[in-house]
Amino acid sequence: MNFDPLQMSSRSLLSRRDSLWYGGLSALGLSLVDWMRLRANADSKLPIRAKSCILLWLDGGPSHLETFDLKPNVPSEVRGPFQAIPTAVPGIELCELLANTSRVADRLAIIRSMTSPLGEHGIANQYLLTGYKPSPALEYPSFGSVISHMRQDRNALPPNIAIPEYRPTAGSGFLGAAYRPFAVGGDPSQADFRVRDLNFFPGVTEQRINRRAKFVNEFDAAQSAFESSDAKQDSEFDQAYRLITSGNAKQAFDLKDESDATRAKYGTRMFGQSCLLARRLVERGVPFVSVLNTGWDTHSNLKLQLRDGYSGAKVGVGLIPVFDQAFAALISDLDDRGLLDETLVVAMGEFGRTPKINVQGGRDHWPRVFSVALAGGGVRGGQVIGSSDKTGESPHDRPITPSDLACSLYTLLGINPADELRTADGRPVQINQGGRFIDELVS
């Protein structure tokens, strides 16, 4: 039969015939989650639940104890300075600074039992952004690079876009420069924001670019015939040519098309406007967009950095309120536009923070347990997956590794984690190794 339950959106209904087919699976002891796992292991052509992914990378390691996993009934040195508040989902509480996020909690799946042994920024970044522990022998590609490699889209817009930049650990690894993220550069919140390398250099006209494109294409064709190459990926020149000569592609980056009300909803700061730009890009078919939000390495003055920021008398522009406004706006905006079901949104950093506040009023690196928030893309919202112990020191139940998370993200995006990539010397490397799909995301 051709019917596949995973091709249904979360709002689809089963026909009578389909129900009988699925009931047959149940009679064999197979749940929908079991079916997904079997398909992930056996079929390289998985159905796509999410067409695009927006990764909100909270660089430096956000404190789980001040965001998604507060411990209100423990001593103050563990509890921290902020209170827990109820959300739209009974029984789920978040930090008081996440008031907007609390109202969209019914769309969120919050993992509170993420765990890793790596507590240094660089190597922890690599593990979370690739699903592989770092190796001196091989540089693994990050999510966006793998997705762009597997999708082979020929959109004028790059398939892997970073706003405003990307960490070196979020690069293309052994896949090479053709799959490197396109970094827009600059600050989307500024009136003079321009995307780096999007316009012609002075003195270079479109006619000159067209002549160069013709020459490059003829050269590539001759080289391909000589080498009998079967490579499918465009050259970097091809991608750049389509981008700078496409008016529609350039318009995708123009936030002036958005109303003042929409821009204000996301917040006027860089992170908020970057999230708005990410929405515009996935709306136009970009498979992977990452938004870099720095400053979460809060070793000291945690209260100041997380709540108030460094803006003198102006309170409420710290890391959490800025994140809260933009994150909630992104989820609501995608939902209002009918895009949330097909857009996977992931908010995470490389680890959490220590379960005890240090003498400088901050928290140090703590990878043993931390939180990740997901929404959209076929993920069942309104739930918490796993838990940490009473002080947020270790997983209490359902420990989930970065490899498990990577396996799940790829599967939701229709990419078989068991498929193989090839290094420059032809060595096969599995997209994901050792990870298990997180059943609760769709069950």
Digit-coded pLDDT (tens) for 184-218:
999 999 999 999 767 544 454 455 545 544 554 55
**421-426: average pLDDT:** 96
Say which residue the tokens 């053709």 belong to: 178
Name the β-bridge partners of 353.
Answer: 365
315 pLDDT more than 90: no
Q: How far apart are CA 84 and CA 73, in angstroms?
A: 10
User: Read out DSSP for 173-239?
Assistant: GGG-GGGS-EE--S-TTSTT---TT-SPPTT--HHHHHHHHHHHHHHHHHHHHHHT----SPPHHHH
Distance CA 339, CA 311 (A): 35
Q: If you ran DSSP here, which 8-state letter would residue 370 be given?
A: E
* Cα(94)–Cα(84) distance, integer angstroms: 5
Q: Is the pLDDT of residue 100 over 80?
A: yes
How many CA atoms within 13 Å lie on the side-chain side of 356? 2
Q: Say what the pTM is.
A: 0.84
Residue 250 to residue 377: CA distance in whole angstroms: 26
Contact 386, 373 (CB under 8 A): no
Which tokens sit at 130? 């690739």
Structure tokens at 256: 């002036």
Q: 109: how many CB neighbours lie within 10 A of its CB?
A: 21
Q: pLDDT band for position 43 (50/70/90)?
A: very low
Q: What local confidence, expressed as pLDDT, does residue 237 receive?
A: 55
Spatial contact of 174 and 139, defined as CB atoms under 8 Å apart:
yes
Q: Do the beta carbons of residue 225 and residue 231 sit within 8 Å?
A: no
Beta sheet of 370-375, edge-to-edge order? 182-183, 160-163, 288-293, 52-58, 343-348, 370-375, 108-114, 383-385
Q: How many CB atoms lie within 10 A of CB 75?
A: 9
Question: Residue 6 — very low, low, confident or very high, per pLDDT cuts 50/70/90?
Answer: very low
**In this structure, is the dihedral angle defined by the CA atoms of residues 189, 195, 199 and 201, taken in order, positive or negative?**
positive
- What letter represents residue 39's amino acid? R
Q: Is the pLDDT of residue 170 over 80?
A: yes
Alpha carbon distance 252, 267 (integer Å): 19
> Could you tell me if 95 and 82 are in contact, meaning their C-beta atoms sit under 8 angstroms apart?
yes
Question: Domain-by-domain residue ranges, the chain?
Answer: 50-193+255-441, 199-252
User: Which fold is adopted by the domain 50-193+255-441?
Assistant: Alkaline Phosphatase, subunit A (3.40.720)
Distance of CA 19 to the CA centre of its chain: 33
